[in-house]
Amino acid sequence: MTSFGTIIGPVESTRNYKACIVAALAGLDLATTPAFQMGVDNKTPEYLAKYPAGKVPVFEGADGFSLTDSSAIAYYTALKAGSESTLLGQTAEETAEILQYILFAEGDYTPVMAGVLYPLLGYLKFFKPAHQQFEEQFFRFLDVLNTQLINRTFLVGERITVADVVVACDLIMAYKLYLTSEDRKKYRNLTRYFKTIIAQPAFKAVVGDVVLCEKRIELAAPAKKEKAEKKPAAEKKPAAEKPKKAEKPAEDDDEEVEVAAPKPKSKLDLLPKPNMVLDDWKRFYSNNETKPTAMNWLWEHFDAEGYSFWKVEYKYNDELTKLFMTNNLISGFFNRLERARKYAFGNLLTLGKDDDNMIWGYFIVRGLEVPEEVTDAADYESYNWTAADHTDPKTRAEIEDCFAWEGPSLPRECYDGKTYK
């Protein structure tokens, strides 16, 4: 499938998710930019010349058409699905209602949600009275949605639409960081609805599992105050005179939560130097026929003390439906494996047919255990990772066929696959 365009921006962002989910629902191929660097790639002179606001995401069509604003991109993606699609409703009234919910989510709910969460995340200055006002409005908006959803599965009509995708994506941060089990009981209909939407295979394929909040995030103690306390009282200056780090405006949402945490140094960098350099293998694999050339190289150079092989199988094959959605699920998993890029290589294949398929494959990882760079990925738990003995002829044949995406040892016919490299 050729992609009709590319959504440019950090892959793991609630704004990026919207169009990707719509594309997955519509069976359209929308390319993404997994290597995108927030604050760097959207601030280059070329980017700013095209998109002066310097915001993400933006869309660039294969035909040269470009667009900004996540919900507009999601809407356009749904239009690309054609007139048969119900993603934009089935009547003029439904389409208008979809627009109503998108505007509510973007224009009313999101700024208020940001007013509640961003000060707690350190993106904005915290003012208690303002925060209280935002919180009141925030809960009022949740109430509105909760009431509208009393008797509804979806916001508009009887099927999932772009309104559900946009609203559910905009709710992710609140459900991850703020709405405790008490709140979830209070907003029962909204929570039932949110859980329904995030359980859709297209949603899961793009977003992975959304882990619901256990404890609300709280205001972090301002770094400045701690510093001041260490100084003798006479040296203290009035609070207003010092610039605060936390005053820096937000550049991002979800992804900044992760960026803010200090990056752990990988234990894998402390292992003895291996005899095979993984990047050499990746390069050789990309530039040569897999069977026999690349595989012969691998068997000749593989360092069994520095690396291990793992068979990777999806645990919930019986829930898989359309082949393209299964393949999207693999893409989503690989996007969330970003931290492991330096330490792993693998192929996961979509095998079988529509409504009867499976995900199966093999990985090479640095070290003799599955490293935390892999186990940290949100959907790691959805896969069984079994140590594989590459000296066993049967396993070796499976690895070869897996990396070549064809061959007699594949458990089923190969529809498509993804290479993690």
54 binds ligand GSH (CB under 6 A): yes
Among 88-96, 114-122, 250-258, 319-327, the segment contacting ligand GSH (CB under 6 A) = 250-258
Residue 154 CA to residue 161 CA, distance in Å, equals: 8
Shortest spacing between CB 21 and ligand GSH, in angstroms: 14
According to CB under 6 A, which one of 8, 11, 15, 350 is a site residue for ligand GSH?
15
3-state class (DSSP) for residue 369: coil
The residue length of the chain stands at 421
Among 56, 205, 320, 329, contact with ligand GSH (rule: CB under 6 A): 56
Rounded to a whole number of angstroms, the minimum distance from the CB of residue 15 to ligand GSH is 5
Give least dist CB 70 to ligand GSH, A. Answer: 4
Residue 176 touching ligand GSH (CB under 6 A): no
Q: Report the residue number, 250 or 276, with the smaller CB distance to ligand GSH.
A: 250
What x/- string results for residues 60 through 99 when contact with ligand GSH is judged by CB under 6 A?
Answer: ---------xxx----------------------------
CB of 57 to ligand GSH, least distance (A): 6
Q: State both tokens at 119.
A: 């000060």
Cβ-based nearer residue to ligand GSH, 55 or 291? 55
Q: Which stretch binds ligand GSH (CB under 6 A): 247-255, 260-268, 307-315, 362-370?
A: 247-255
Minimum distance of ligand GSH from residue 150's CB (angstroms): 28
| 358 strand-pairing partners | 351
Those residues with Cβ within 8 angstroms of residue 254's Cβ, 6 or more apart along the chain or in another chain: 12, 13, 14, 172, 173, 176
| Under rule CB under 6 A, residue 253 binds ligand GSH | yes
Q: Edge-to-edge strand order for the sheet containing 58-61?
A: 30-31, 5-8, 58-61, 66-68
Instruction: With contacts defined by CB under 6 A, name the span among 21-29, 150-158, 249-257, 365-373 that binds ligand GSH.
Output: 249-257
Look at residue 376 and give its three-state secondary structure: coil
Check if the beta carbon of residue 314 is closer than 8 Å to that of residue 359.
Answer: yes
Give the pairing type, strands 30-31 and 5-8: parallel
How near is the Cβ of 168 to ligand GSH at its closest, in Å? 14
Tell me how far apart the alpha carbons of residues 374 and 380 are, in angstroms, rounded to a whole number. Answer: 7
252 in contact with ligand GSH (CB under 6 A): yes
- Dihedral of alpha carbons 170, 172, 175, 178, sign: negative
Residue 49: CB minimum distance to ligand GSH, A: 15
**C-beta of 69: minimal distance to ligand GSH in Å?**
4
Q: Which is nearer to ligand GSH, 9 or 306 (CB)?
A: 9
* Owner of token pair 């949110």: 194
CA distance 195 to 13: 19
Q: Report cis status (omega within 30 of 0) of the bond before 57.
A: yes
If binding is defined by CB under 6 A, does position 170 make contact with ligand GSH? no
Residue 164 sits in the site that holds ligand GSH (CB under 6 A): no
Q: What token pair was written down for 326?
A: 């299964």
Give the residue among 5, 103, 112 at the shortest CA–CA distance from 58: 5
Of these, 108, 251, 369, 416, which contacts ligand GSH (CB under 6 A)? 251
Contact segment (CB under 6 A) with ligand GSH among 48-56, 195-203, 287-295, 341-349 equals 48-56
Q: Which residue blocks in 8-153 are alpha helix, DSSP H? A: 14-26, 45-50, 70-80, 92-103, 110-121, 128-148
> Min. distance of Cβ 253 from ligand GSH in angstroms?
5
Closest CA to 353 of 376, 332, 327, 322: 322
Q: Are 152 and 197 in contact (CB under 8 A)?
A: no
Q: CA-CA distances (angstroms) from residue 315 to 320, 361, 385?
A: 10, 13, 10
Q: Which region among 53-61, 179-187, 274-282, 351-359 touches ligand GSH (by CB under 6 A)?
A: 53-61
Query: Which residues contribute to the site for ligand GSH (CB under 6 A)?
Result: 13, 15, 54-57, 69-71, 251-253
